[in-house]
Structure 1
Amino acid sequence: MKINWGWGIAIGMLAFIAFIMYFVVTMSTSKEFDHDLVTEDYYAKEMVYQQEIDAETNTRNLDEAILSKKIAEGWQIDFPKSLEPSKIKGTLAFYRPSNEKLDFEIALNLTDQVVIIPEERLLGGRWNITIDWEYEGKPYLYKESITY
């Protein structure tokens, strides 16, 4: 049988479709290419979004800003000096977008304005920091993306 241009186009299209299907099946079934959800309870979190906006506004209205920086021991977060550290209660969360297993959370029980996250807890790469805290009954929220 002689292959004319019509059969050549059909064979080429079938080969291309098979090639694409191979990659689709490989990417969706392989554990090496595991895709985590960004947030488990996305819709529940969306419902409290206005409260987050208000808490972020409270943080921006502070006399001094929260400062965070890389130091030799790890990552340092400085709370405003005008606040009494013992009255700050909340959580400090480090979220790794590329790997859910590296996420961790620390309860804030401060004795001074400085929190240091040890270098051993942070792998190199992108991290999202979220500080959800309360001071004298008023909610505050601080978010920052860092590269360690």
Structure 2
Amino acid sequence: MTTKAAPAVEAELDRLPTMPIAKLRKRYSQLFRAEPPKAFGPDLLRRSIAHRIQEKAYGGLPAATKRLLDQLVRAALAKPNGPLELPRRIKPGSELVRTWNGKTYRVTVTSDGFTHNHKTYTNLSEIALAITGTKWNGPRFFGLRSVAHQEATDGK
């Protein structure tokens, strides 16, 4: 999706390259409600300010992207020298099947969550709880994550 540039936003962005460092520091403080880091030179100040101006005008990252980035940071902290792997993505329309205590359960992946027994859930752990009556890691319950992977991402 493309958003038409607002003239006021473009005008402010156009002023950044010639703005003195004192004014950049002041504008940074206004936008971030904090003093800029001492290590930030004019170039990094301009980039940070430009990003924040555009973020305020046009919106930031979607919540799903923020969650993905948080997952990657946690994985990197848990295994600093290990490979970073993107979590598996299940496409809407996919069906997850799990047999539990002799009964087969089917879950359909939707664009905004999961459906099971004509009810919508935001995550698989809620469904695993509804099926078993106890708390489970939903992706693990449905076979999307191994025990070893779960332990690695939990930092155990």
Q: TM-score, normalised by structure 1?
A: 0.31
Q: Which has the higher contact order (CA 8 A, sep 6+)?
A: 1
Which of structures 1 and 2 has the bigger CA Rg?
1
Q: TM-score, normalised by structure 2?
A: 0.30
Which has the larger helix fraction? 2
